[in-house]
Structure 1
Amino acid sequence: MNQTANNPQDADDEENFGAPPIPPGSKNYMTPEGHLRMKAELLNLIDVERPEVVQVVSWAASNGDRSENGDYLYGKRRLRQIDSRIRFLTKRLDLAEVVDPSIHHGSDQIFFGATVRYETQSGEEHTVTILGIDELDPLNGKISWVSPVARALTKAREGDAVMLRTPGGLEELIVLEVRYPEPN
């Protein structure tokens, strides 16, 4: 019998926290900014949040009966969540391949880190930035390099038409503009 499937505490270990899994055999590409944000979150969890929760749990445990002690029970649960997030971040950072998109500044070809403005067949314009799996924010136009749109656009140039396979069939996208951040 699989213990992990039956123990909700262990299930947290397999959680991806909303991030898609890294494709097998791929690196975890991310921008320098994304890497810094992730590392800062990890350090904050280790140096600030976890010690604070440990202190609360220790205090609550000293109050006696733990079975009905809300501070203790909530604290232990929060500690498991923090530890799970620490493991997740550590694994993702260990696999990180930091890529600075500014090396392509001035290029009109689409690679990781590009901000691309394109037009659909229906005339709708969209702007997306192709980033790492752990940096995606689709509501703000930040898509993962493994997304179908990013895969269709990658290596195309301004003015190119590319085909995107959608559930409704093939759709043509016209690349209108490609931008990269300026080098620091």
Structure 2
Amino acid sequence: MSRGFIREEDQEEIPIVPPRADLPHGVTNYVTQIGLDALLAEKEELMEEIVNVDRTNENESRIAINHNNARLQLLNNRISTAKVIHLADQPQDEVRFGATVTLKIMATNKTQKFQIVGVDEADITKGKVSFVSPIAKILIEKKVGDMAILQLAKEERVFQILYISYI
């Protein structure tokens, strides 16, 4: 049957699913164990949502299930490509993936602490930055006492590495 003979209200609404945090094409999906555990917990919650969709209205339930299935597909892709980096295996005297780094901001003499994590785990409000972020990129392979320079649009921000831990 031609699509021209289908009632407008019978047409399936295509769910709009927001993309996950950006992971550049070709970049390995590194995660901490905590990050992988969070992805797996998110998957469990999503599967629970799918099971508990209100089925009173068939059209609305189909749309909700399609939306959650699309989210699940993106999530499963992230889980299947995840490569766990064990923090104990990292060089403890050098900034690498998973490191928690205490920095001194040279311009203000204030300190700031970040952990370098996977893209899905990153949350600046919790002091977690993605390993693909500019700040993480300038810190990788640095040691205590080293300086790192972040080039901003109108200035350079200079940091000194004060402490590195893998907790």
Alignment partner, residue 24 of structure 2 = 23
Deviations 1:102-157 (A, max 9, x none): 2237x221000000000112212110000000100101110000011000111000
Following superposition of structure 1 onto structure 2, how do residues 21-100 of structure 1 map, counting pairs within 5 Å? 21-46=22-47, 48-53=48-53, 56-57=54-55, 59-61=56-58, 73=60, 75-100=61-86
Question: Which consecutive aligned stretches of 4+ in structure 1 deviate over 3 angstroms post-superposition?
Answer: none
Deviations 1:32-66 (A, max 9, x none): 111112112213322x221111xx22x433xxxxx
Offset at residue 79 of structure 1 (A): 2.2
SS at match of 1:79: helix
Q: Percent identity?
A: 26
Q: Compute the TM-score of the two structures, normalised by the length of structure 1.
A: 0.77
Q: How big is the alpha-carbon RMSD for the aligned residues of Structure 1 and Structure 2?
A: 1.9
Q: 2:98 aligns with which of 113, 117, 129?
A: 113
Question: Which structure 1 residue ranges, 5 or more long, are not aligned?
Answer: 1-6, 62-71
Question: Which structure 2 residue ranges, 5 or more long, are not aligned?
Answer: 1-11
Q: Compute the TM-score of the two structures, normalised by the length of structure 2.
A: 0.84
Deviations 1:58-111 (A, max 9, x none): x433xxxxxxxxxx53x3443233112101101111211111112237x22100
Offset at residue 179 of structure 1 (A): 0.5
Offset at residue 8 of structure 1 (A): 7.1
Alignment partner, residue 157 of structure 1 = 143
SS at match of 2:98: coil
